[in-house]
């Protein structure tokens, strides 16, 4: 553990810190301590307080000379002076040292032994340790392909129950009792004031997004799967939370590699995690059977309402938050690839939830369009995924993961285009958002149709078909997709008023052009964007 001058040492002695407890023991401690209760399906149900999503406005990065010139400073990467990181660390340590018991997880992030990072999570709540042991890779598990030797690289100190006082907020120059501080130099994360477990997950993803490019590995906010009978047929699904990464990669005809975070190195793709973190609002056995069956003893339900008498979860109840979540080990998905790694992808799919309702449900991208749409990262923020987001909001999230990327966008975009060119992957844009009108008027695309489009991509049917070019966005739209009505493929046909569609489409095209002006691009890449 890092020693900071004039700050007490975090007490991780065996007498008070329980390390790497098995799942059953962590669940027993969590229930006994009132942290959660067991649902009828065996899952542990926990509430995260007033923060039911990430708090990106409350996250800061320690600004040091070692990393300063490598960071894309701004609204996402907000700087904080080193002495204030020391102070946050002190507050967290003093709080945790005052607890009767602590829980620690020590495992890995990264299924590729050549590029993985050793992660230690220290928390006051047993369920946070269970979350970490589910999301990351346990030592000695089937997902751990190493030699049994653990290496300590990164530390997450979770003091989520300790909120900043008003005086401390003034000291830090912030206006919130929540503070998440990360140091790329000390390889440490301090969490204060938020019990939302996703902060731990995404802080380590942020670390990997900084560390791995220097090893020649492209870090990706994407899910991945592989055909059951063809190890060369690998698909990646890029997208922000709620756009379908987990849902579309959980497919009985394919083996899951991972649902959210991966690296693409010289040997192929590999999962950063040992578990999945799925949205479960409106979850049904019919619509998502693999995820439904993965919710059992050993999984964690966050902010999900359960019946007081029967303890049966009500996945349609969003009264706590629309961002209800479930965490489960990746091997809870039947046939998942363990260890979670594969070769180079044949198809790369960009997922967008278009709240304007004007993008086609599926389109093929040229190499230039792939670079353009990746660096713009257009989607919509969906309800509950961040504090304060209550309905879909049009959003450009650079590289489909801006909140988790410390480096400049062009660095990640260059790595993607180089990988695609070298390995010959085909790139697609898949709209899982609205059709027949914008949010509030139209409706979301049918999951049944979206799955049919994905299957047509993966089995090669779509690539072999004919395409027309959209006059405004320049996207190549297929004439037909097996199992999908042809009028659904052209969004203008789904609107009652074609003129209203044209107006809305040109509005979005103008937003693209306004956003792409922020980036340096080759002329041919910029020219491949919307024409409206």
- Does the bond joining 277 to the residue before it have cis omega, within 30 degrees of 0? no
Whose structure tokens read 């009767």?
100
Which residue is catalytic, options 133, 183, 203, 241? 241
Residue with tokens 């894309």, as numbered in its chain: 72
Measure CA 95 to chain center: 29
Tokens of 77: 């990467």
Is 319 part of the annotated catalytic residue set? no
* Structure token pair of residue 291: 């995820």
Identify whether 202 is a catalytic site residue. Answer: yes
Determine whether 241 is an active site residue.
yes
* 161 belongs to the catalytic site: no
Burial class of residue 446 (count of CB atoms within 10 Å of its CB; 0-12, 13-18, 19+)? middle
105 and 132 in contact (C-beta within 8 Å)? yes
Q: What number of other Cβ atoms are within 10 A of residue 448's Cβ?
A: 10
Query: Is 245 marked active-site?
Result: yes
Q: How far apart are CA 394 and CA 297, in angstroms?
A: 37
- Give me the catalytic one of 163, 201, 245, 476: 245
From the list 59, 115, 163, 202, the catalytic residue is 202
Is the distance from CB of 160 to CB of 99 less than 8 angstroms?
Answer: no
DSSP 126: H
Q: Which residues is 469 bridged to in the sheet?
A: 476
- Tell me the torsion sign for CA atoms 409, 413, 258, 186: negative
From the candidates 221, 279, 364, 419, give the one annotated as an active-site residue.
Answer: 221
- Of the residues 86, 144, 259, 260, only one is catalytic, namely 260
* Active-site position among 325, 364, 419, 476: 325
CA angle 279, 387, 430 (to 5 degrees): 45
CA distances from 406 to 196, 236, 446, 527 (A): 21, 22, 35, 27
C-alpha span between 10 and 121 (Å, rounded)? 12
**Annotated active-site residue in 48, 52, 54, 379:** 54
305's tokens? 């309402």
The Cα 298–Cα 240 span in angstroms is: 26
Annotated active-site residue 221? The verdict is yes
Q: What is the 3-state secondary structure (H, E, C) of 60-75?
A: EEECCCCCHHHCCECC
- Both structure tokens of 4: 């900071």
Q: Is 507 a catalytic residue?
A: no
Which one from 55, 235, 246, 346 is the annotated catalytic residue?
Answer: 246
Structural contact between residues 208 and 109, judged by C-beta atoms closer than 8 angstroms: yes
455 is catalytic: no
Distance CA 271, CA 470 (A): 35
Q: How many CB atoms lie within 10 A of CB 503?
A: 12
Residues 6+ apart with CB under 8 A from 148: 139, 140
The residues with which 302 forms a beta bridge, in sequence order, are: 46, 325
Tokens of 400: 């489909």
Residues classed as catalytic? 54, 202, 221, 241, 245-246, 260, 325
């Amino acid at each position: 553990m890092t020693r900071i001058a004039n700050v007490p040492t975090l007490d991780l002695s065996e007498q008070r810190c329980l390390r790497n407890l098995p799942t059953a023991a962590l669940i027993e401690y969590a229930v006994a301590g009132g942290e959660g209760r067991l649902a009828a399906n065996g899952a542990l149900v926990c509430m995260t307080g007033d923060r039911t999503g990430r708090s990106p406005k409350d996250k800061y990065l320690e600004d040091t000379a070692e990393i300063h010139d490598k960071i894309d400073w701004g609204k996402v990467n907000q700087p904080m002076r080193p002495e204030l990181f020391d102070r946050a660390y002190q507050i967290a340590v003093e709080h945790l040292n005052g607890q009767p018991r602590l829980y620690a997880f020590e495992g890995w992030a990264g299924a590729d032994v050549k590029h993985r990072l050793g992660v230690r999570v220290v928390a006051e709540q047993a369920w946070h340790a269970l979350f970490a042991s589910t999301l990351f890779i346990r030592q000695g598990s089937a997902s751990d392909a190493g030699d049994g030797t653990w290496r300590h690289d990164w530390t997450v100190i979770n003091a989520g129950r300790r909120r900043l006082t008003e005086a401390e907020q003034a000291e830090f120059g912030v206006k919130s009792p929540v503070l998440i501080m990360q140091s790329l130099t000390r390889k440490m994360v301090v969490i204060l004031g938020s019990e939302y477990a996703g902060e731990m997950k995404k802080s380590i993803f942020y670390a990997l997004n900084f560390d791995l490019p220097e090893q020649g590995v492209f870090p990706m906010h994407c899910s991945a799967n592989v055909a059951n009978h063809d190890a060369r047929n690998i698909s990646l699904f890029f997208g922000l939370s709620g756009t379908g990464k987990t849902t579309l990669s959980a497919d009985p005809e394919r083996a899951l590699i991972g649902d959210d975070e991966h690296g693409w190195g010289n040997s192929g793709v590999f999962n950063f995690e040992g578990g999945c973190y799925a949205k479960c609002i409106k979850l049904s056995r019919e619509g998502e059977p693999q995820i439904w069956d993965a919710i059992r003893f050993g999984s964690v339900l966050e902010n999900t309402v359960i019946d007081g008498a029967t303890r049966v979860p009500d996945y349609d109840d969003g009264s706590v938050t629309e961002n209800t979540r479930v965490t489960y080990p990746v091997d809870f998905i039947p046939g998942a690839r363990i260890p979670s790694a594969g070769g180079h992808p044949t198809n790369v799919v960009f997922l967008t939830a278009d709240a304007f309702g004007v993008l086609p449900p599926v389109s093929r991208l040229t190499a230039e369009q792939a670079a353009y749409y990746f660096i713009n990262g257009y989607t919509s923020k969906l309800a509950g995924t961040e504090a304060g987001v209550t309905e879909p909001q049009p959003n450009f999230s650079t590289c489909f993961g801006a909140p988790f990327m410390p480096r400049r966008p062009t660095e990640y975009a260059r790595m993607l285009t180089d990988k695609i060119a070298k390995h010959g992957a085909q790139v697609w844009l898949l709209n899982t958002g609205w059709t027949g009108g914008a949010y509030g008027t139209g409706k979301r695309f049918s999951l049944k149709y979206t799955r049919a489009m994905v299957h047509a991509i993966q089995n090669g049917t779509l690539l072999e078909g004919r395409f027309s070019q959209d006059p405004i966005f320049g996207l190549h739209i297929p004439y037909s997709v097996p199992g999908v009505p042809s009028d659904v493929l052209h969004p203008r046909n789904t609107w009652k008023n074609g003129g209203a569609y044209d107006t809305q489409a040109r509005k979005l095209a103008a937003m693209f052009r306004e956003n792409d002006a922020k980036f340096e691009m080759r002329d041919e890449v910029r020219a491949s964007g919307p024409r409206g």
